[in-house]
Amino acid sequence: RRDIPSPPIASDIQCRYQSQRCLQRRFCTSRASRAATCAASVYGCLILSLAYWRHISELPRPQQAPGSVTSSTDRPTTCHPAPRPHTLLVTVPFTAKDAGLLELVVGRLWGRFWPCQSTPLPTTRPDLTFAFSGNISAPVHAALRARLVALMARRAPRECFRRVRLESAHLSGRSDLYDKRRGAVDWTVGPNMLFRHSFERAARAGYRYMVQLEPDVAPLRPLWLEELSCLAARSSAWVIGSPFLGRCSYDAKEERCAELGERIQYHLNGNAMYAVGDTGFRDYLARAFRGNLSLWPTDLALYLHLQRLPEVVRRRLQRRFQPHSFVVNLGNNPSQAAAEHATAGQASAEEADPQAATPSLRQLRNRWPHAYLLHSARLTRALVDGEGGGGLGVEAPWLDQAVHAASFAAGLALGGGSAETKEAGTHARGTVMDAKPEVSGQLNALLRLADRRSDPQRRLVVSFVSSAYHELCDHWLHHVHRHGLQHYLLVAFDAAQAAQLAAQGEEPHFEPMAGLSAAGGSDVFASRDFFTLNAARYRVLVSLLRGGIDVFAVDLDVVLLRDPLPLVGSMPFELLLQSDARNFSSMIESSPYLLRDRLGLAQNTDSEGTPGITYVNGGVFFARGTAAIARLFEDAWALASLDLGKRNEQDCLNLLLHRSAIRWSPLPPALFPNGFVYFRRPPPPHLEAREGPVLVRCSQASGVTCQTST
């Protein structure tokens, strides 16, 4: 980022003015001359201040500081300080019996409810540890280890965590015992020792907090890892978790559902956040496990030890054990299907039993509007079953930012708004999009060609074409050759256009499109072909970004006047996009139709309180080739493909940008003007770029014919 000096404030100007006034008194002999001199000084200061603010207003600014998370209707928590490395460790304890449930939760639900922002900073991401009770390297566990390694290679663990590890506690025999029927006095020694193993390793590694998520803890909302990171960055509590919130707890020994014992009714469940970096808490934990409390489950031992302390000490420590809504503990009652629901005339929401007949996902979210995680083996399995239409069910389009439509993964050869599109998106959630991408021959060919045509820094200008746009493509190529640009790639979506480009001596990449009309597409917005071409465009774009190629993507209505790659590559942003504003002097859009009706924003203000927001278009942008940026475009298309009403993919991209922590900025309009700025409201001559614009986009005209004539 540029080092921008602090702006002058009124007190600075006053001090400078007074200093100048004192110096001038030596030379001013009359009141008139003194007044004239002072007026000239003030006037000079005002001119300098105005010039400074004009300079600052022309600098591109990131729309969100990295690491800062702003609140929204989806995320009630505001986390201002950026988490530091080793702030948080997520630990998932498991035994050999838990492999199947882990594959359901981590392998599928983490993909449906994406854990993190689109671009978590690599150095500040939390770490993830899968802690096995035995020895995962033993030959008898070879198959289990292979399943865990495949799970760790999933995209959610790879992209949302800084480091993913698989550890062994090396417990065996009686030390690995966990008997839910409580047939022996040491029935819970296995989970206790596994927790102590993870706790001590996290403390030695220097983490501030460790959160324990057992295999039956499922996400209820996207961005749940962001919520945990915010809590870890700002909290001073020792234990942060949920008490038991079900109507009754299933007793495996008695085989019935009963209320918790009076002594433990308000304890915090073990799926919680622990202050492993606090020496006071480590001492407290050591004392709690002395004597007969060592035979109790860890969460109960921590609570019972607090109750045994003197009243004055208990009052002082009570604030260290904090109930919090980020996780909801409902227990594992398997048979309570006849209890009443919260319906009008029956019971209030507070009295209703959430464990009654399996609730829908929407009901769970409405019941706990600020919860991100759910602890319940029965409801966790229902969440997974809901992918196929059973269990909790899918109430489309509830999917939120991180759910990915199969239509995108498959290339979306379907038209916009059809029932087939919605059905395709419903059936592939958490499977196709979250699976590790297969490197096909087509993808290999694309990346090899992109590598060959990119510059030494792996930067590339990319545009997309089909037969319907061949005339615009000829104009585009004319300007490319005229200015000697070499590092560009044309992606053709039909064989006829690919053959024509090859005959002209070009080297296009042919990306076949199933379902494309014989005319080679359409420029009619929201038509079937328009939707199909955009899906293919996003697919190629994401493949290039995941291949590490920095992409400067332009539509064919862009006239390139010089090489943009050195300029955009030197700017300190992960993503730069052309402003869609109709005015050079302001990049703020304040249209009520855009803000309220299309984007659904409750407040028509940007991050600084200015009426309107910065709205960018998807026709001209520079994107760094990282997995985080690729994920942003996947999110945008997934949201657009299941929101086939008022919003287009550009609206969805803007929504996600303003909710993300990406370092992004509009491209300077003097260098990258859209058609409205260049042709209709150009900047005054003294504010134009010295070397002229890098490109001009003919976005003021609509349709291929109008753009070609322009």
Based on the number of CB atoms within 10 Å of its own CB, is 458 exposed (0-12), middle (13-18) or buried (19 or more)? middle
The number of angstroms, rounded, from the C-alpha of 313 to the middle of its chain's C-alpha atoms is 42
Average pLDDT over residues 318-324: 93
Average pLDDT over residues 160-185: 80
Same fold, 88-335+352-375 and 441-564+573-709: yes
Pick from 80, 81, 59, 87: nearest CA to 2: 59
Q: How confident is the model at residue 504 (pLDDT cuts 50, 70, 90)?
A: very high
pLDDT for the residue 517: 63
- The span from the CA of 544 to the CA of 550, in Å, is 8
Pick from 386, 412, 403, 333: nearest CA to 656: 403
The packing angle between helices 298-308 and 189-204, to 10°, is: 80
Highest mean pLDDT among 267-276, 610-619, 630-639: 267-276
- The span from the CA of 159 to the CA of 91, in Å, is 17
Q: How far is CA 631 from CA 90, 118, 173, 368, 687, in A?
A: 22, 6, 45, 28, 37
Whether the predicted pLDDT of 547 surpasses 80 = yes
Average pLDDT over residues 105-113: 90
Mean pLDDT of the chain: 73
The packing angle between helices 10-24 and 31-57, to 10°, is: 150
- The span from the CA of 378 to the CA of 375, in Å, is 9
Q: How confident is the model at residue 418 (pLDDT cuts 50, 70, 90)?
A: very low
Q: Kindly report each contact of residues 139-146 with a partner whose C-beta sits within 8 Å and lies 24 or more positions away, as own/partner.
A: 141/96, 144/96, 144/99
Beta strands in 173-318 (DSSP E): 209-212, 217-219, 239-241, 249-251, 256-258, 273-274
- Bridge partners (DSSP) of residue 575 are 623, 664
pLDDT for the residue 450: 94
Domain ranges for the chain: 10-57, 88-335+352-375, 441-564+573-709
Lowest-confidence pick of 65-74, 277-286, 581-590: 65-74
Q: Token pair 């024509």 is at which residue? A: 500
pLDDT for the residue 219: 93
Q: How far is CA 77 from CA 68, 108, 632, in A?
A: 11, 26, 21
Q: How confident is the model at residue 357 (pLDDT cuts 50, 70, 90)?
A: low
Domain 441-564+573-709 listed as CATH 3.30.300.20: no
pLDDT for the residue 627: 81
pLDDT for the residue 2: 40
* Percent share of the chain, pLDDT over 70: 60
Lowest-confidence pick of 86-90, 116-120, 140-144, 467-471: 116-120
- The span from the CA of 119 to the CA of 98, in Å, is 31
Based on the number of CB atoms within 10 Å of its own CB, is 406 exposed (0-12), middle (13-18) or buried (19 or more)? buried
The phi-psi region of residue 484 (left if phi > 0; otherwise alpha if psi is between -120 and 50; otherwise beta) is left
pLDDT for the residue 207: 94
In sequence order, what DSSP letters do the residues of 561-612 get, joined into one string?
-S--HHHHHTSS-SEEEEE--S-SS--EE--HIIIIIIS--SS-B-TTS-BS
pLDDT for the residue 279: 92
Average pLDDT over residues 498-516: 87
8 Å CB contact between 464 and 521: no
Comparing 381 with 435, the larger pLDDT belongs to 381
CATH number of 88-335+352-375: 3.90.550
Highest mean pLDDT among 31-45, 176-190, 611-625: 611-625
Name the token pair of 568: 């955009």
Comparing 690 with 161, the larger pLDDT belongs to 161
DSSP state of 74: S
8 Å CB contact between 167 and 201: yes
Comparing 452 with 263, the larger pLDDT belongs to 452
- The span from the CA of 169 to the CA of 194, in Å, is 6
Lowest-confidence pick of 41-45, 131-135, 237-241, 674-678: 41-45
Q: How confident is the model at residue 706 (pLDDT cuts 50, 70, 90)?
A: very low
Whether the predicted pLDDT of 194 surpasses 70 = yes
pLDDT for the residue 404: 36
Based on the number of CB atoms within 10 Å of its own CB, is 9 exposed (0-12), middle (13-18) or buried (19 or more)? exposed
